[in-house]
Structure 1
């Protein structure tokens, strides 16, 4: 198919080249030969009257013209994909769809079991791919690399629809036999302790959710260790006098595995709202609507630290 004398199949090649930065890798992704990709690149260069991708070492670096085309090309392809693949109905018992869900290890640990139980009851044949949070989650959404994001409300994009899923409170976790397990627990003792902190490797500022609220209270934590996942926090305080500040529901579950004592946060940390978000082009996708309903039903069963969130 052609538009303005451009073979639209070439846009698929251009998207792969801009994403992979290599003729060989683009050929592998598109299941075509490198020579066919090189030929397509030549036709693209002729049409746009621009080099588009220039060799720098073993990589192909996009020209300014190619950079200006990158987002538009990806947007066009996502629109086409959502229009072509969208089905008027969805049956979880017969589908072969694969859903890509970007979540933190905390959300997967707390919500995942209930989600899997929901899909099992529905006899669903859909495959759920739980993927780690990305540095730019909305870019993955817009590129078609994610179907659903579950992330804190502060990271939600205004460009796409979303729904509140659940809220999470915070607690302090210490070793059951350590010096912080007994005695008074106030701001001064908390501030004087050494801390184990989760620093997400995807966050540009490497800032934990609670940092802002602790700074407002004048508390600057003395860090003993950092980790990239929430679920490992409790294990790192065992056998020490350290403290970890983390999601209360996750702390409660992991305290069944480790010798831990949970103590209330002496500094007020507002509950963290978790939101699920999807691409605006897929607002009427019946498969995605089913998955969102599964998420809501799973969140409705959360208790104690985490609780269902209700949009205003």
Structure 2
């Protein structure tokens, strides 16, 4: 459709190009090929009689005319969305919606997996995709690469709405035959044992406990670094190594591995796990429904008792209650 010689389909492409300032990134956002996006840019240049995007050094920058078009273009698209593109009522029983998550293996184990088990009975046709945590999770949300970001609160953005799922604290885990777990886990013993720790991605971003110990200037003897919490038991069993992991995850892994547990012998702040979505999707009833299901599961999957089995007998560790009002760093 054209309006005064402008193909209205190009407005969406224009918005993506102005936002990303890159043909390749705009193509990803539009789910188009780079050649198709380049063609759209060419037609927009012809219509506006302006280059819009020009190469400066190694990157593309907006022309003055392009800068002037940013807000009007967004305003027009938003007006169309609010007044014309009215979403049909969401019915979970018949919806075949695809919802894309960005979450860690920890969140996948303790929240997403049990939530999907619940949802399949309520929304049997819904589909889900889980992407690994990136170095810029909020940017992935804003670019539309994912629909929901589920992560620790300090990795989210105050620019977008979110909802608290749960708080979690930490326990020390080791092989059930590790003699260190036959005695009290003191700070001295904890620091003297070899550790397995988790660091994420090519930038080796430390897990929260690793970061916190460095901040406190407590030197641990890290013997193995792995990229995933769920791989820690395989690197601990049969050795005298220990690891520090979330209590909820430890409870899940107890069902699969012969592990022993102890309380962390020093204060470490709990973590707060949030679900976040782009502010532009605040009225998306499907996403709100999914967030509601996650919340119900998060409240149901409350840590109870961890039962570990040292060499001769079974020791039950009573979990201390979540610290009310505390927040993560």
Range of TM-score over shorter length: 0.7 to 0.9
CA distance in 2, matches of 1:107, 1:278: 16
Match of 1:151 in 2: 151
Match of 1:247 in 2: 246
CA distance in 1, matches of 2:209, 2:77: 36
Match of 1:30, SS state, is: coil
Structure 1 residues 236 and 141, CA, compared in 2 at 3 Å: closer, same or farther? same
Structure 1 residues 288 and 86, CA, compared in 2 at 3 Å: closer, same or farther? farther
Match of 1:267 in 2: 266
Match of 1:30 in 2: 32
Q: Do the aligned residues in 2 keep the contact of 1:299 with 1:308 (CA within 8 Å)?
A: no
Q: Does 1:284 align with 2:283?
A: yes
Match of 2:225 in 1: 226
Which of the numbers 56, 59, 62 marks the counterpart of 2:60? 62
Greater relative contact order (Cα 8 A, min sep 6): structure 1 or 2? 1
Match of 1:93, SS state, is: coil
- Structure 1: 5+ residue runs without aligned partners? none
Structure 1 residues 236 and 80, CA, compared in 2 at 3 Å: closer, same or farther? farther
Structure 1 residues 64 and 123, CA, compared in 2 at 3 Å: closer, same or farther? closer
Match of 2:131 in 1: 131
Match of 2:207, SS state, is: coil
CA distance in 1, matches of 2:54, 2:152: 37
Q: Do the aligned residues in 2 keep the contact of 1:74 with 1:143 (CA within 8 Å)?
A: no
Deviation at 1:265, TM superposition (A): 0.6
Structure 1 residues 214 and 94, CA, compared in 2 at 3 Å: closer, same or farther? same
Deviation at 1:81, TM superposition (A): 9.1
Deviation at 1:155, TM superposition (A): 1.4
String of CA shifts for 1:135-182, please: whole Å, max 9, x gaps: 212112211222111110111201011111111121111122234332
Structure 1 residues 264 and 10, CA, compared in 2 at 3 Å: closer, same or farther? same
Deviation at 1:11, TM superposition (A): 4.5
CA distance in 1, matches of 2:239, 2:285: 50
TM-score, structure 2 length as denominator? Answer: 0.76
Match of 1:298, SS state, is: helix
Deviation at 1:257, TM superposition (A): 2.0
Match of 1:52 in 2: 53
CA distance in 2, matches of 1:135, 1:123: 32
Deviation at 1:112, TM superposition (A): 2.4
Structure 1 residues 77 and 129, CA, compared in 2 at 3 Å: closer, same or farther? farther
Match of 1:170 in 2: 170
Match of 2:235 in 1: 236
RMSD: 3.9
CA distance in 2, matches of 1:278, 1:78: 19
- Structure 2: 5+ residue runs without aligned partners? 305-318
TM-score, structure 1 length as denominator? Answer: 0.80
